[in-house]
Chain A
Amino acid sequence: MLRRTFLGLLGAAGASVALPVSATAGGKKFGPHPDTKGVLFDATRCIGCRKCELACNEVNELPAPDMPFDDLTVLETRRRTDEKTYTVVNKYQGKTGPVFRKSQCNHCLEPACASACFVKAFKKEPNGAVTYDASVCVGCRYCMVACPFSIPAYEYDEPLTPRVMKCTMCAPRLAEGKLPGCVEKCPKEALTFGPRAELIKIARERINTYPERYVDHVYGEHEMGGTSWMYISGEPFSEIGLREDLGTQSAPELTAGALAAVPIVVGLWPVLLGGIYAVTQRNAKIANDERVAAVKDALKRAGEKAEQKLHEELGKAEQNSQRRIEVEVKKAVEEALAPKAEDAETNEEES
């Protein structure tokens, strides 16, 4: 019976191991999405005019900034995106002068935020935009932890209805056939919108045409599994605030191993623990049986021993009494014979 249950459990575990692994593996759809749109940023063209910031602010109806957008002194301090700013331009020191780099959500092909969100509030749209749905967001901020580019921002001052805020690639405008606000406004064509595959071609073309002007790398082509927003630059990317140590593995690839372990544990543990339980129960039963048997045996042996001893004692006692009787008899005989011997002696003397 026990063995049959055990085998049954084993079979069930095998099935559960086989099924959900492929189910989670189904979530791993790596590789480029052919229709995905994107934006190419060319750092050699950007002049740090902040027009893109202004456009973004207007298009997304964000609150007015502390300093007006035509005030370029803000470029002196390093800034990041926050809940009121979807995009910022920062100034870096290049080899021949200042270099500017725009920063915003990179709209990863396999977004870490979407992969990390436990209510699926983030979604990679077919047009390339990674969008956010505040109506299901719990506000756990795991997306912010997970994003390798540290882009999502949170409304910390909203006590009850905080949202995660980030660039939407102007998804509503894209739906209307318009360009993203920043791309439309850029006076220097530092931003190019188009199908991602096209953008990579354009980027390569520029690099090949002016190899002395560009670093031979399209940032975002492979980083973190690839992003919709890509960069080319004359300065090493780490000099303009883009990390070059992110690797090419996408977020889902990074967590695939841990997720794949779930069905294994669910399938294997009950079997293992059930088996251990069965073994300990069996051991306990055997130990108990052995104890009972040992006690019985001991009792039996003790009984036998006692009987034997009794027998011996009885025998001894009998012997003893026999001997005593013999002694007594001997004594009595001797006593009885003693007067006769005396008589005989006296008779001898007399005669």
Chain B
Amino acid sequence: MSVDTTMAEKRSLFTPFNIIAGIILIAGLIVTVMRFTVGLGAVTNLDQNNPWGIWIGFDLMCGVALAAGGYTTSAACYVFGLKKFHSGVRPAILTAFLGYALVVFALHYDVGRPWRLPYPIFVQQGTTSLLFEVGLCVFLYLTVLFIEFTPALFEWLGMKKIRNVVVKLTLALTIFGVVLSTLHQSSLGALFTIVPSKLHPLWYSQYLPVFFFVSSICAGLSMVIFEGTLSHKPMHHLMDEEYLSNHDGLVLGFAKAASLVLFGYFSIKLIGLAYDNNWHYLTTGYGAWYLVEMLGFVALPSFLYAIGVRDKNITLIKWAAGLTVLGIVVNRFNISMIAFNYQLPSAERYFPSWGEITISLFVVTIGVLVFRFITTRMPIFYVHPDYKDEH
């Protein structure tokens, strides 16, 4: 470890990664200044008909869905007793915590008066609003994720007593986390149950909350596989024997689950289609796009996962995971932007501005940098030497 860090210090700061990250950070800061001095109108393509753009559609909708790895992994390990997934819990919790923290961070750009974000919880509660549910759950779950993450922090800081107290809370925190995740993953979908007139019938359904919840499980499982793939190379020297030896087993187990849940998701989407009798829309342009989403990003990855598990083909599984992650982004984009306001003439439809794209990249970059900062310092991919003999 110490050898590695000294090597990193010696290496030039101007790696391609750092240069690109640096450019994005500078551009992001410029847009930040513009947002808070000139206003949303200057940096976004939002208008009176399209109040929500990619800062909601990507940063919030996708951010939350892709952070679902936290509750799925910890539930699998602690509630369902799949102890062999233990080494996957910490990376997943950290990813989820950072994901939610960044969602809240990104919201500061989008809402008009960000310092009032605590208002719905502490000043005046609009309990009839599904956004209230989203806000309350995100607030509580961010707290839960932070507590779930702290053992790694305390181990790094050498604070043994408090670390052991937090570890004792694991099961309660996990169950609380699953409850909160269920609620606000689904309530993000439920946000749109209020607009049957604005969301295309192929995507509008009273079952939207269920669709969002079930697809978040697919997202969580796939994101753990996908994120493991991404961090495998740059973080390999930090991963201990246990993590590495369990990794393939975890990937196979998660792939099997993802294949099944995707199949289940496909089925309930079909039920939704039949329930609202929307078959005739399938022959329209939106219908074609709907079929692309359902066949290309739900049925196909489910099938690829199944083959991957049967053949123990880790590479295929990783591709399936990437496809599923992309599929979640497609789905959340469809509901929040593409199929939303479908009734408007094309000239009044929304397309993100460069300022919006810059901020979204800025947020993702910050996430990657913080993830790297934490994983190179704290026991995330390895067991801290003081706690080797536990579990």
A interface, CB within 8 angstroms of B: 24, 27, 80-83, 112, 114-121, 136-142, 144-146, 148, 150, 153-163, 243, 245-247, 251-252, 254-255, 257-259, 261-262, 265-266, 269-270, 273-274, 276-277, 280-281, 283-284
Provide 28 A-B residue pairs closer than 8 Å at the C-beta atoms, listed in order of the A residue. Answer: A81-B48, A112-B194, A115-B129, A116-B129, A116-B131, A117-B129, A138-B111, A138-B112, A140-B112, A140-B131, A144-B51, A145-B52, A145-B198, A150-B49, A156-B39, A156-B47, A157-B38, A157-B40, A158-B39, A159-B36, A159-B37, A247-B196, A247-B197, A252-B128, A258-B130, A273-B178, A274-B175, A277-B175
List of A residues within 8 angstroms of B46 by Cβ: 156
List of A residues within 8 angstroms of B208 by Cβ: 258
List residues of B (176-211) whose CB comes within 8 Å of A's CBs: 178-179, 182-183, 186-187, 190-191, 193-198, 206, 208-209
Cα–Cα distance between A119 and B127 once the two chains are bound (Å): 8
Q: B8 within 8 Å of A by Cβ?
A: no
State the total of A-B contacts with C-beta under 8 angstroms. 182
B interface, CB within 8 angstroms of A: 35-42, 44, 46-49, 51-52, 75, 78-81, 110-114, 116-117, 119-120, 123-133, 135, 171, 175, 178-179, 182-183, 186-187, 190-191, 193-198, 206, 208-209, 343
List of A residues within 8 angstroms of B182 by Cβ: 265, 269
- Other-chain residue from B127, B130, B193, B209 in contact with A27 (beta carbon distance below 8 A): B127
Asked whether B126 lies within 8 Å of A276 as measured between CB atoms, the reply is no
Smallest CB separation, B39 vs chain A (Å): 4
Tell which of B111, B119, B186, B194 has the most Cβ of chain A within 10 Å: B194
Closest A-chain residue to B48, C-beta based? A153
Additional 12 contacts, C-beta under 8 A, given A255-B190, A257-B206, A277-B79: A119-B120, A139-B113, A144-B48, A150-B49, A156-B46, A162-B40, A243-B343, A254-B193, A259-B128, A273-B79, A273-B178, A281-B81
Smallest CB separation, B153 vs chain A (Å): 26
Asked whether B193 lies within 8 Å of A270 as measured between CB atoms, the reply is no
List of B residues within 8 angstroms of A247 by Cβ: 196-197
List of B residues within 8 angstroms of A112 by Cβ: 194
Closest B-chain residue to A133, C-beta based? B124
Asked whether B112 lies within 8 Å of A137 as measured between CB atoms, the reply is yes
Interface of B, helix, strand, loop or mixed by DSSP = helix
Closest B-chain residue to A163, C-beta based? B112
Smallest CB separation, B357 vs chain A (Å): 18
Cα–Cα distance between A117 and B116 once the two chains are bound (Å): 14
Cα–Cα distance between A293 and B209 once the two chains are bound (Å): 48
Smallest CB separation, B277 vs chain A (Å): 15
List of A residues within 8 angstroms of B186 by Cβ: 258, 261, 265
Closest B-chain residue to A27, C-beta based? B128
List of B residues within 8 angstroms of A116 by Cβ: 129-131, 194
Closest A-chain residue to B348, C-beta based? A80
Asked whether A255 lies within 8 Å of B194 as measured between CB atoms, the reply is yes
List of A residues within 8 angstroms of B123 by Cβ: 119, 136
List of A residues within 8 angstroms of B129 by Cβ: 115-118, 142
Closest B-chain residue to A270, C-beta based? B175
Given A116-B131, A139-B111, A258 contacting B190 (CB threshold 8 A): yes
List of B residues within 8 angstroms of A283 by Cβ: 81
Closest A-chain residue to B78, C-beta based? A277
Asked whether B124 lies within 8 Å of A120 as measured between CB atoms, the reply is yes
Asked whether B126 lies within 8 Å of A145 as measured between CB atoms, the reply is no
Asked whether A117 lies within 8 Å of B126 as measured between CB atoms, the reply is yes
Smallest CB separation, A351 vs chain B (Å): 96
Asked whether A138 lies within 8 Å of B116 as measured between CB atoms, the reply is yes
Closest B-chain residue to A141, C-beta based? B51
Smallest CB separation, B49 vs chain A (Å): 6
Asked whether B113 lies within 8 Å of A265 as measured between CB atoms, the reply is no
Given A154-B112, A273-B175, A280-B80, A261 contacting B40 (CB threshold 8 A): no
Asked whether B193 lies within 8 Å of A266 as measured between CB atoms, the reply is no
Asked whether A141 lies within 8 Å of B194 as measured between CB atoms, the reply is no
A-B pairs with lowest CB-CB distance, top 4: A139-B112, A280-B81, A156-B41, A258-B190
- Other-chain residue from B78, B187, B196, B198 in contact with A258 (beta carbon distance below 8 A): B187
Asked whether B80 lies within 8 Å of A261 as measured between CB atoms, the reply is no
- Other-chain residue from B52, B113, B183 in contact with A162 (beta carbon distance below 8 A): B113
